[in-house]
Chains A and B, each alone.
Chain A
Amino acid sequence: MSEKKEEYLEAMYRLTDGKKPIKTTEIANYLKVAPPSVTEMMTNLAKDKLVKYVPYKGVTLTEEGIRQGRRITRKHRILERFLSDILNVRKEDTHEQACKMEHVISDEVEEGMCRILSNPKECPHGTEIPECPKYPAGCKKCRSGKNVPLSSLKKGECAILELILADKNTRAKLNSMGILPGTEILVVRRIANGPVCFRACGTEIAVDGEVAKHILVRKKNG
Chain B
Amino acid sequence: MAKDIEFGYGCNNCRNSRNNKCNRHRHRNRWRFGRPIRIALVGAPTSGKSAIFSRLTGVGVISTNYPGTTVETTSGNVRHKGNEFEITDLPGIYSLSATSEDEKITRDFIFKNKPDVLVNVVDATRLESNLFLTLQLLELGFNLVIALNQIDLASKMGLKIDTKKLSKELGVPVVETVAVKGLGLLQILDECILVAKNMNNSGDRKKRYYFYPFDDHLEDSLKNITSVLPEMASKRTIGIKALEQDEEYLKNVLSNEDFDKIVSIANDEKKKIEKAHPGIPIKDAMLRERHAKAGAIAAFVTEKSKRNKLANIEMLDDILTSPGSGLVILALVLFSMMLLVFYIGGIIEEYIVSIFDALVTNPLQDALSGTHPLLRNVILYSMLGIEAGLGIVIPYIGIFYIFIGILEDTGYLSRAALLLDNACHKFGLHGKAIIPIVLAFGCNVPAILATRTLSSKRERILTGIVATLTPCSARTIVILGLVGKFVSLAAAFSLYAFDVAIIVVVGYVLGKYLPGDKTGLVMEIPILRMPDFVGSLKKSWLRMQEFVYVAFPLIVIGSTILGVLSGLELLDDIQNIFEEPSMLILGLPGFAVTALIIGIIRKEMALEMLAVLGGTMIFTEILTPLQMYVFSLVCIIYVPCIATIAMLKREFGTRDAALITTFTIMLAILIGGSVFRILTIFQVF
Q: Give the B-binding residues of A (Cβ under 8 A).
A: 134-138, 166-167, 169-170, 172-178, 180-183, 188-189, 191-195, 197, 201-211, 214
Chain A CB within 10 A, most for which of B94, B281, B525: B525
Q: Which residues of A contact B97 (CB under 8 A)?
A: 172, 176
Question: Top 9 A-B pairs ranked by shortest CB distance?
Answer: A176-B95, A211-B520, A208-B521, A202-B128, A176-B94, A203-B126, A201-B129, A194-B422, A137-B279
Looking at B242-250, B315-323, B345-353, B557-565, the stretch in contact with chain A turns out to be: B315-323
Return chain A residues, CB-CB under 8 Å to B288.
180-182
Residues of chain A with a CB closer than 8 A to B637's CB: none
CB pair A197 B525 closer than 8 Å:
yes
Residues of B within 8 A of A170 (CB): 519-520, 522
B residues in contact with A204, CB < 8 Å: 524-525, 527
| Minimum CB–CB distance for B209 against chain A, Å | 23
Please name all residues of chain A whose beta carbon is closer than 8 Å to the beta carbon of B291 when the two chains form the complex. Answer: 178, 180, 183, 201
Taking CB atoms, residues of chain A closer than 8 Å to B421 are 191, 194-195, 208-209
Known: A180-B288, A195-B421, A209-B425. 11 other contacts (CB 8 A): A138-B279, A169-B99, A173-B94, A178-B294, A189-B318, A195-B418, A202-B127, A203-B126, A205-B522, A206-B524, A209-B421
12 chain-A/chain-B pairs, Cβ below 8 angstroms: A170-B519, A172-B99, A175-B95, A180-B291, A189-B321, A191-B419, A201-B126, A202-B298, A205-B522, A205-B524, A206-B414, A207-B520
Q: B126: shortest Cβ distance to chain A, in Å?
A: 4
Q: How far is the CA of A197 from the CA of B431 in the complex (A)?
A: 13
Chain A residues with CB under 8 Å of B231's CB are none
Smallest Cβ-Cβ distance to A201: which chain B residue: B129
Nearest Cβ distance between residue A11 and chain B, in whole angstroms? Answer: 26
Q: Residue A193 contacts which of B125, B422, B519 (CB distance < 8 angstroms)?
A: B422
A194 to B419, CA, bound (A): 9
* Nearest CB in chain B: distance from A106 CB, A: 16
Is A195 touching B522 in the complex (CB atoms < 8 A)? no
Instruction: Report the nearest A residue to B278, measured CB to CB.
Output: A136
| Residue of A167, A183, A189, A209 most packed against chain B (CB within 10 A) | A189
Could you tell me if A206 and B525 are in contact, using CB atoms closer than 8 angstroms? yes
* Residues of A contacting B314 in the complex (Cβ-Cβ under 8 angstroms): 188
B270 at the interface (CB under 8 A from A): no
- Which residues of B lie under 8 Å from residue A194 when comparing CB positions? 418, 421-422
Give Cα A28 to B414, complex, Å.
64
Contact B128 A195 (CB under 8 A): no
Give the distance to chain A from B120, nearest Cβ to Cβ, in Å. Answer: 15
Which residues of chain A are near B279, meaning CB under 8 Å? 134-138
* Complex alpha-carbon distance, A197 and B524, angstroms: 9
- Selected from B100, B519, B522, the residue in CB contact (under 8 A) with A177 is B522
- Contact between B128 and A201, CB atoms less than 8 A apart: yes
- Please name the residue on chain B nearest to A214 by beta carbon: B520
Q: How far is the CA of A181 from the CA of B287 in the complex (A)?
A: 11
Inter-chain CA distance A208–B519, complex, in Å, is 10
- Which A residues lie within 8 Å of B358 (CB)? none
**In the assembled complex, how far is the CB of residue A194 from the closest CB belonging to chain B, in whole angstroms?**
4
Q: B279 → chain A, closest Cβ, in Å?
A: 4
Are B129 and A208 in contact, with the CB atoms below 8 A? no
- B453 contacts A by Cβ under 8 Å: no
* Residue of A whose beta carbon sits closest to that of B418: A195
Q: Which of B99, B281, B298, B323 contacts A173 (CB 8 A)?
A: B99
| Closest residue of A by beta carbon distance from B320 | A189
Q: Does B295 interact with chain A (Cβ within 8 Å)? A: yes
Check B455 for interface membership: any CB of A closer than 8 A: yes
Q: How far is the CB of A32 from chain B (nearest CB, A)?
A: 37
B126 in complex: contacting residue of A173, A183, A202, CB < 8 Å = A202
Query: Contact between A203 and B520 (Cβ–Cβ < 8 Å)?
Result: no
One of A174, A178, A192 near B323 (C-beta < 8 A):
A192
Interface centre among A176, A194, A205 (most CB of B within 10 A): A176
Residues of chain A within 8 A of B425, CB atoms compared = 208-210
Residue B235 at the chain A interface, CB threshold 8 Å: no
Question: Is B132's beta carbon under 8 Å from chain A?
Answer: yes
The winner among A195, A205, A209 for most chain B CB atoms within 10 A is A195
Kindly list chain A residues whose C-beta atoms are within 8 Å of the C-beta of B524: 177, 203-206
Quick check: is B284 within 8 A (CB to CB) of the other chain? Answer: yes
Across the two chains, which residue of chain A brings its CB closest to B94? A176
Known: A172-B97, A182-B288, A205-B525. A195 touches B431 (CB 8 A): yes
Residues of the B chain whose Cβ atoms lie less than 8 Å from the Cβ of A195: 418, 421-422, 431, 521
The chain B residue sitting closest to A190, CB to CB, is B321
Contacts of B280 in A (CB 8 A): 137
User: Are A211 and B418 CB-contacts (below 8 A) given A137-B279, A176-B95, A203-B126?
Assistant: no
Residues of chain A contacted by B99 (CB below 8 angstroms): 169, 172-173, 176
Nearest residue, chain B, Cβ from A207: B522
**What is the CB-to-nearest-CB distance from A34 to chain B, in angstroms, rounded to a whole number?**
37
Interface positions of B from 270 to 312, Cβ below 8 Å from A: 278-281, 284, 287-288, 291, 294-295, 298
- B430 interface hit (Cβ, 8 Å): yes
B128 in contact with A209 (CB, 8 Å): no
Cβ of A210 and Cβ of B323 under 8 Å apart?
no
Cβ proximity bits B501-529 to A, threshold 8 Å, 1 near / 0 not: 00000000000000001011111110100
A175: chain B residues within 8 A (beta carbon): 95, 284, 287
Q: Which of B507-553 contact A (CB under 8 A)?
A: 517, 519-525, 527
